[in-house]
Amino acid sequence: MPNLPLYDLPERPRRNRKSPGVRALVRETALSPSDLIYPLFLHGGAGDEPIDSMPGCTRWSLDGLVKEAGEAHALGVPAVVLFPKIDDALKSPRGDEVANPDGLIPQAIRALKQTHPDLIVTTDVALDPYSSDGHDGIVEDGEILNDETIQVLATQACVQADAGADIIAPSDMMDGRIGALRAALDSAGHPGVSLMSYTAKYASAFYGPFRGALDSAPKAGDKKTYQMDPANIREALREASLDEGEGADILMVKPALAYLDIILRLRESTALPIAAYQVSGEYLMIKAASKDGWVDEKNVALEALTGIKRAGADMILTYFAKDAAKWLA
Ligand code: PBG
């Protein structure tokens, strides 16, 4: 070994990592419970049921829902988003149950707003939980009818707004639905109800466990004529500018972890807030890997959520919301 002189370092970035205090001062992204939206499943029956396809998640009764939402809210989570498991007997080709003002979702909205008036209640607009075909739109001869679907979705949104929803989140990916919903809500006397658009929702295999939770998988075909091709970026930018022009208040990217570049590109191309949805498959990969101690659940989950926020998400829909709020306390 030759006796080399020590290299004279021009820069020492490690000085900014030398202690917890310095690291706290230079930290660029702070994840907080107030960034989180908690997706909750509910059913019309009595009792709370564990969900086989989503270990760690529950299909709540109305009472259980109100209690669980209240606990998350008390931990600093500002918002929930509701997904109903609809009885088979109430499903139909056109999803008519969405128009029922006393349906499961309107009942849940009223119960939540009555008990927790400051909790932000977000609702899903799409037909799949209500459709006997398991599609987000109306199916005729194997085709999804775009314009007929958005008429039904507009009714669904107005029923939810009438019941007291704060934010309406269409997850269906039909063309023109943001403009149609905005117009319908405004003319029904709900100019203050927000629209969180699933702007860049990809046709993803990460949704599998969610469809098990609601028994909402398509009976035939797939969702690729309405959800986006995972290979595309420019298409997301086009959807974003359409949604913005049609009056969306918040743009969403979904899934999150495999689409961080999309979150960043939307962040750079719009002044609107960006939401990201850490979906069922993303959640369960962490759950499954941590179950036998292969990874550490808390640290991996918080790292994934921090990465989603760092990419540019202002808010994150995550099944970890309540746990994360506890971990961050
Ligand atoms: C359907 C809907 C889906 C999710 C939210 N709304 C599934 C799908 O598009 O088939 C997925 C959420 C998740 O996987 O956590 N409108």
Tens digits of per-residue pLDDT, 183-199? Answer: 999 999 999 999 999 99
Ligand 1 within 6 A of CB of 210? yes
Is 215 in contact with 238 (CB distance < 8 Å)?
A: no
pLDDT band at 1; cut points 50, 70, 90? confident
> Looking at ligand 1, which atom is closest to the CA of residue 201?
9
Average pLDDT value for residue range 31-50: 97
Residues 171, 153: Cα–Cα separation, whole Å? 10
pLDDT single digits (tens) 171-185: 999 999 999 999 999
* Cβ neighbours, 10 Å, residue 161: 22
Asked whether residue 3 is domain-assigned, the answer is no
Ligand 1 within 6 A of CB of 282? no
Q: Determine the structural domain holding residue 128 and report its residue range.
A: 31-328
pLDDT at 9 over 90: yes
- Number of domain units in the chain: 1
Q: Tell me the whole-structure pTM to 2 decimals.
A: 0.97
Ligand 1 within 6 A of CB of 126? yes
Map residue 148 onto helix, strand or coil.
helix
pLDDT at 323 over 90: yes
Nearest to 137 by CA among 105, 168, 94: 94
Active site residues: 201, 254
pLDDT at 200 over 90: yes
What is the predicted pLDDT for the residue at 92?
97
Name the percent of the chain lying above pLDDT 70. Answer: 100
Q: Mapped to the 3 state alphabet, what secondary structure does 227-286 carry?
A: CECCCCCHHHHHHHHHHHHHCCCEEEEECCHHHHHHHHHHHHHCCCCEEEEECHHHHHHH
What is the predicted pLDDT for the residue at 2?
82
Strands (E), 155-245: 167-170, 194-201
Asked whether residue 204 is domain-assigned, the answer is yes
Ligand 1: centre distance to CA 132 (Å): 16
Ligand 1 within 6 A of CB of 171? yes
CATH number at residue 228: 3.20.20.70
> Looking at ligand 1, which atom is closest to the CA of residue 126?
16
Asked whether residue 18 is domain-assigned, the answer is no
Asked whether residue 19 is domain-assigned, the answer is no
Residues 249, 245: Cα–Cα separation, whole Å? 10
Average pLDDT value for residue range 20-47: 97
Asked whether residue 22 is domain-assigned, the answer is no
Asked whether residue 243 is domain-assigned, the answer is yes
Asked whether residue 251 is domain-assigned, the answer is yes
Asked whether residue 309 is domain-assigned, the answer is yes
pLDDT single digits (tens) 129-156: 999 999 999 999 999 999 999 999 999 9
- Under DSSP, the state recorded for 165 is -
What is the predicted pLDDT for the residue at 219?
93
> Looking at ligand 1, which atom is closest to the CA of residue 280?
15
Average pLDDT value for residue range 109-120: 98
- Closest residue by CA, ligand 1 atom 14: 207
Strands (E), 86-193: 120-125, 138-140, 143-145, 167-170
